[in-house]
Amino acid sequence: MKIKRFLPVCMAALCMMSIPAGASDGAKVYVNGQMLDSEAYIINDRVYVPLRAVSESMGAEVAWDNTSRSAFVEQKEESAVINTVASTSESVVAIVGTYKSAAISKDAQNYNELYAHGTGVVIKSNGTILTNAHVVKDISQITVIFSNGDSYSGSVQYIDETSDLAVVKINKLGLKPITFAPEHSLVVGQTVIAIGTPLYVNHMNSASKGIVSGVGVNIGEHYLFTQSDVAINGGNSGGPLVNLKGELVGINSMKYSGVGVEGMSFSIPVDTINYVLSSFEKYGRVLRPDTGISFTESWESKIGVPTKKGLSVTMSKNASIMPGDVITHVNGYEVHSVADYNEAIKKSFNGESVTLNYTRAGVANVAEIKTN
């Protein structure tokens, strides 16, 4: 088995009943960027529009039962997927560049190509685009291409290979940024859509649909990932994974491939994205604390068996922690793997110290560790 890295609408007080007397005041309502062809009324600082107008604009069917005086709104998944792809695609771009050195790229050797491409997504209207670090780290002369064919020269503003995230900047204002989903909002079984540029640039803004297979998945990388069965291929890297609201829930980064392996794709979740972007803006890079402690995972954690065992210390430059100690919590978070440890640091690190709960010879202890 191989693991490969690959290149709300706010509806306030919607009502089907008769609208109280009031003037429309020229109010307009936009659903996924499209203005409704229906009058909107502002009454007591609330916006009233016909329920049918909003629902049908989102691909839902509306039925009214006069006997029970009830409205029934049914959102079909097919319509939701179509609307999501249409509303999101404007924010998705292809990123194309030439290899800095063909010798360092296996892809260039295998396919006899001198250029590489991946995907990105607009996160700020001022030309700020998020993608994978592995998409842009080895290329120069970056060109960002939009779904309408417009293209702009781009440059790498920030890059962090540990998280596999990078920010590309282009000289263009007025872009449509994608909306971020709330952190930790994904659940197993939820429908998600990947949009990107698989295999060839003329496939840009291709979409594939699947479900979330796992959240907080440890695949031996620095952080935890979101697993899905969405189809991604070379060139999808850096593209968005979105929910049916069109909100960003992850950046597509890698997948498992091999004989008998199907439907195992991995995306960087929103909490990691927010953490890295915040660090970029504050420090220009991602600051990670060094406790001077090395440790190893239990055999259960290494092979993916659920376990409550902590991390066994193998080396320590800190007088409070000794080899043989077992770290169970970091800043209040349980840790059973290296990825758990890194997640705990990411969530709670304040730049000065970390709190470690550990056991020594079966006795529980707490230590406050200064970091470098």
Active site residues: 134, 164, 237
CA distance readout (Å), 31 to 79, 179, 295: 14, 14, 51
Q: Which amino acid is at 189?
A: G
Residue 35, both tokens: 């203005």
Torsion of CA 103, 108, 113, 116, to 10 degrees: -110
Amino acid type, 3: I
Q: Are strands 265-269 and 225-228 parallel, antiparallel or unpaired?
A: antiparallel
Pairwise CA distance, residues 343 & 351, whole Å: 15
Contact indicator for 41, 23 with CB cutoff of 8 Å: yes
Nearest to 119 by CA among 236, 5, 267: 236
- Burial track 159-169 (b if 16+ CB lie within 10 A, e otherwise): bbeebbbbbbb
Find the angle CA(334)-CA(340)-CA(343) to the nearest 5 degrees.
105
| Phi/psi of residue 351, nearest 5 degrees | 90, -5
Q: Tokens 């203005």, residue?
A: 35
User: Which positions ≥6 away from 141 have C-beta within 8 Å?
Assistant: 97, 98, 153
Q: Where are the beta strands (DSSP E) in 87-222?
A: 92-99, 115-124, 128-131, 139-146, 151-160, 165-170, 179-180, 191-196, 206-217
